[in-house]
């Protein structure tokens, strides 16, 4: 059971938009930065979003991140079949002095 809560799965049609939520508490998301990772089948996770809403070089602006209070959201617009993957949120927990990952959300592009 992860400290950070994500929906197990989401789905949407090609070209549509989807959002993935990540819920935590004041000791983690509420007072620390959130990052998001994409894990394509059989590959290592890839950083998509850092510092709540910043995109590393090479990540298209179809991917966006936001944070409000103790929750964060990843948005993906213009869905493509290549976006089918598992998505994880991450942050630091100040009380635990530990890095945390959400349980992961599997995205299906129908």
Partner 1 sequence: QLQLQESGPGLVKPSETLSLTCSVSGGSISSRGYYWGWIRQPPGEGLEWIGSMFYSGNTYYNPSLKSRVTISVDTSKSQFSLKLSSVTAADTAVYYCARHRSGSDYFDYWGQGTLVTVSS
Instruction: Give the residues lining the site for partner 1 (CB under 8 A).
Output: 2, 32-33, 35, 37, 43-47, 50-51, 56, 86, 88, 90-92, 96-104
Which residue, 14 or 28, is less far from partner 1 as judged by CB? 28
Looking at 1-110, which runs of residues are DSSP E strands? 9-12, 18-23, 35-39, 46-49, 63-68, 71-76, 85-93, 98-101, 105-109
**CB 78 to partner 1: min, Å:** 24
Q: Residue 13 Cβ, how far from partner 1 at the closest point, in Å?
A: 26
Structure tokens at 54: 């910043």
Judged by beta carbon, residue 42 or residue 82, the one nearer partner 1 is: 42
Q: What are phi and psi of 81, to 5 degrees?
A: -60, -30
């Amino acid at each position: 059971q992860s400290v950070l809560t994500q929906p197990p799965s989401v789905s949407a049609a090609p070209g549509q938009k989807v959002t993935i939520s990540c819920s935590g508490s004041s000791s983690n998301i509420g007072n620390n930065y959130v990052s998001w990772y994409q894990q394509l089948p059989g590959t290592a996770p890839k950083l998509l979003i850092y510092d709540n809403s910043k995109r590393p070089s090479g990540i298209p602006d179809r991917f966006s991140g936001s944070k409000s209070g103790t929750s964060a959201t990843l948005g993906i617009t213009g869905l493509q079949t290549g976006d089918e993957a598992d998505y994880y949120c991450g942050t630091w927990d100040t009380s635990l002095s530990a890095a945390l990952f959400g349980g992961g959300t599997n995205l299906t592009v129908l």
